[in-house]
Amino acid sequence: MIEQKRSLILEENIKLHKSEAYFYEVIHPFTFNVIRQTRLRNEAIRLRKIFNKGDCLVAVDIGSGTGNFAKHLERAGFEVVACELSKDMLKNNNALHRILCDATFLPLKNNCASAVVAYSVFHHLPNPLQTLNEVCRIASYHSALCFYERSRDSVLPSRKKLLLLLSYFIWLLSKPSYFMRFFEYLFYGRKAHLSYIRHIDFCLTDGSLVNMERFRRSLVDKEFDVSLFSELGTTILRAYR
C-alpha cells in the first residue's frame, strides 16, 4: 500500500511538472523576483566562501527543476549536478551535469558532494526523511547543506506580498522572453494548469508542510551543525559538518 502511494505521488509529480515546465518561471512570483533571486545568489556565494579557494567543488541540486538555484551555484564557482524527476523540467535546465532520477534513490557515490541544496522540494516527496538520508550519504565529510521550504507562517503580510509582487514584475520586465511567456500563460496555459493544481497537487503531492524541526534533529544526530530560521514565509535550514 505504501509503495503504491509512493508510485502514485511520483507519477502525479511528473504530470504536474510537465504542465509547469514551459511556464515555470512566470507562475511562481514569490520565487522569481528580484528580492528572492538576490538572496539565492548571496546564498550560493555564502556556500562557496565556506570552502578553500581553488577547491574543485561539487554541488548537488535536488529537484533542480529548470535550474533556478543551479545557475547561482555555477556562477559562484560550483560544478553543479542537477537531479530532477521531470524530463520536461530538465530540458530547460542548463546545468553542466543533469540526471533524471527520483530523489529517494540518488545515483551518486557516497561522500561525493561538497554542497547539497534543495529549494521547495521536500514537500513534493512521498518520504522526505528517506531523501534526507540520501543527502547525508552523498554529502562529503566537510560539506554544507541548504534547504528551503514553505513555513507554517507562510501567509505574508499584505505589504510584504505587494513588495514581492512588485519585485516580480521588475524581474519580469528585465527578461523580455519571460515577459512574453507570462502573457502566453494568461491566455493559453493558466486554465489547464490551475485545474491540475486544485484537483491533484494540493490534494496529493503538496498538501502538507515538511517538519523541518524533525530534519534538524536528524541532522544533529548525524553530527551536523544546524541552524533553522524563517524569512518571507520560507523556512531555511543550513547545516555543516
10-residue mean pLDDT series, the chain (241 residues): 71 81 91 95 96 89 96 96 95 94 93 96 87 96 94 73 92 90 88 73 60 93 94 91 91
Q: At what angle do helices 68-76 and 34-49 cross, to 10 degrees?
A: 40
pLDDT at res. 200: 62
Q: Which CATH number fits domain 30-171+210-240: 3.40.50.150, 3.20.20.70, 3.90.199.10, 3.50.30.30?
A: 3.40.50.150
pTM: 0.91
pLDDT at 33: 94
Question: HEC string of the chain?
Answer: CHHHHHHHHHHHHHHHHHHHCCCHHHCCCCCCCHHHHHHHHHHHHHHHHCCCCCCCCEEEEECCCCCHHHHHHHHHCCEEEEEECCHHHHHCCCCCEEEECCCCCCCCCCCCEEEEEEECCHHHCCCHHHHHHHHHHHEEEEEEEEEEEECCCCCCCHHHHHHHHHHHHHHHHCCHHHHHHHHHHHHHHHHHHHHHHHHHHHHHHCCCCCCHHHHHHHHHHCCCEEEEEEECCEEEEEEEC
Look at the alpha carbons of 170, 121, 70, 240 in this order and tell me if their dihedral is positive or negative. Answer: positive
pLDDT for 199 equals 65
pLDDT value for 201: 59
